[in-house]
Structure 1
Amino acid sequence: MQITHLGHACLLVEVGDQRILIDPGSFSSFEDVDGLTAVVVTHQHADHLDPERGGALLAANPEARVLMEAETAATVADSGYADRVEVLGAGSTVELGSGEGAVTLTGVGERHADNHPYVPRVGNTGVVVRAAGEPVLYHPGDALDGEPGEVDLLAVPVSAPWGKVAEAIAFVRRLAPARGIVPIHDGLLNDRGRAMYLTHIGDFGAEGGVEVLDLRGAGATTV
């Protein structure tokens, strides 16, 4: 498995014979990404699905399956790519490819984390990526209550209007990823603030600490 962090919550996952892009939002850089077999969107917020660049991304990747949480799918009904959208719901699975290069995507969860009373909660379905002989990766979108089962790599939202570091630490401790965590949702932080968050989560995400696989700016990284 290779993972490229393209900024904020956007990950390019290359595993088996598949190239999967998760959450191409407004804080992320994905203009040159092509050859995709799937695009997964966990929820409708612009930092996870850029309404201005989403159409161009999908036009550049005409063979990619487009998998979205149900409410998100409804928001793009008037887009030029609505006929390509498939709903990825909680507990549902999608098979990409076949044979040794096949990948299974599984939806996890239904609701976005609670911001505050003045912002309505929206749907949110995270995704587990599985392929034979490869690490199991869970990208939760914007929710910390999902139940993905045993995972090797856990994408962890580092900073958000709806989150605090204590909740991120509890999330990591609860799911106890076997390999470590991949920081995401960090586009609101400067470098010093981000480093502080990663130190807290890494040092206290498990007894004795948890490995932090910081992929920001690292390019495609084999994990």
Structure 2
Amino acid sequence: MQLIFHGHACVSLGLPDGGGTLVIDPGTYSDTTAALTGAAAVLVTHDHPDHVDVPAVVEHLGAAPDAQVWATAPAAEALRAGGAPGDRVHQVAPGQVLEIAGAHVTVGGGDHALIHPEIPRAVNVTYLVEAGGASVFHPGDSYEAPAALPAAGLDVLLLPVAGPWMKLAEAIDFTRSVPARTVVPIHEALLSEIGLTMVGARLDTARLSGEYTYSRLASGEALAV
């Protein structure tokens, strides 16, 4: 697979064997135009706008008649209300295993991480994507680990590093609990360059004695998986 980071929580995965491109969480803080270009499938972890730009996804579905979306129930409803064709927006729930464009996708999670007890928690799912012998895990807005890791080990962990629901200690513990060969920071739009540098220094393998590569990507930058 080829992973391309499109800013904040959005990545696209170029699938092998002509499967096309699978996009995860094309939200309002991301370059949705680049992410959705040529996308055969879209996965949405939850309905917050920084994870699903409804007008952009609806426009893409109008321009690409074969494209399909898989999303939580609230996100699917928001897309349908925004004009998405109902038969091409599919509701997902934790425990499902999907075959999408040649990729094996395991749905996990269930709840958005707690922001505050008085703020209702969104429905949030995680996606473990496996294709061509490679694997990528996207937790959405949670530190919910996958129920099981691939037998060959996880290739890429997409790691949220900033948000009103987290602290850096949780990101460090999550990195340690979900071993991966490469850790790519996501959910970083709220951080300045100073903040990104600080986070990177504390998640660096030299400090944590990890056996992974911490790979910060600029928007539009690709990583071979």
Normalization by structure 1: what TM-score?
0.90
Match of 1:8 in 2: 8
Distance in 2 of aligned mates of 1:154 and 1:180: 6
Q: CA deviation at 1:206?
A: 4.7
The 2-side partners of 1:119 and 1:217 are apart by 31
1:205–1:114 Cα change, 3 Å: farther
Contact 1:170–1:205 (CA<8 Å) still a contact in 2? no
Shift in Å, 1:203: 3.6
Change (3 A) 1:52 1:203: same
Equivalent residue for 1:96?
100
Task: Output aligned runs, 1:102-117, within 5 Å.
Answer: 102-117=102-117
Match of 1:85 among 89, 114, 121: 89
Stretches (4+) displaced over 6 A: none
8 Å contact 1:138–1:148 — kept in the other structure?
Answer: no
Identity of aligned residues (%): 35
| Structure 2 Cα separation of the partners of residues 184 and 213 of structure 1 | 10
- Shift of residue 218, structure 1, vs aligned partner: 5.2
Q: Does 1:20 align with 2:9?
A: no
The Cα of 1:211 is off from its aligned counterpart by 1.1
**Cα distance between partner residues in 2 of 1:36 and 1:51:** 15
Q: Deviations over 1:156-181 (max 9, x none)?
A: 0010000111000100101111x121
Whole-angstrom distance in 1 between the partners of 2:44 and 2:210: 34
Structure 2: gaps (5+ residues):
none
1:162 equivalent in alignment to 2:165: yes
Range with bigger deviation, 27-36 or 1-10: 27-36
Matched position secondary structure for 2:104? strand
CA RMSD, Structure 1 to Structure 2 (Å): 1.8
Other-structure match for 2:59? 56
The aligned counterpart of 1:194 is: 196
Greater share of strand:
2
Moved more, 143-152 or 61-70: 143-152
Between 186-195 and 139-148, the greater mean CA deviation after superposition = 139-148
Given candidates 204, 207, 210, the residue that maps to 2:209 is 207
Q: Which residue number in structure 2 is paired with residue 74 of structure 1?
A: 77
Equivalents in 2 of 1:173, 1:220: separation in Å? 24
Q: 2:32 — aligned with what? A: 30
Question: Which ranges of structure 1 fall in alignment gaps of 5 or more residues?
Answer: none
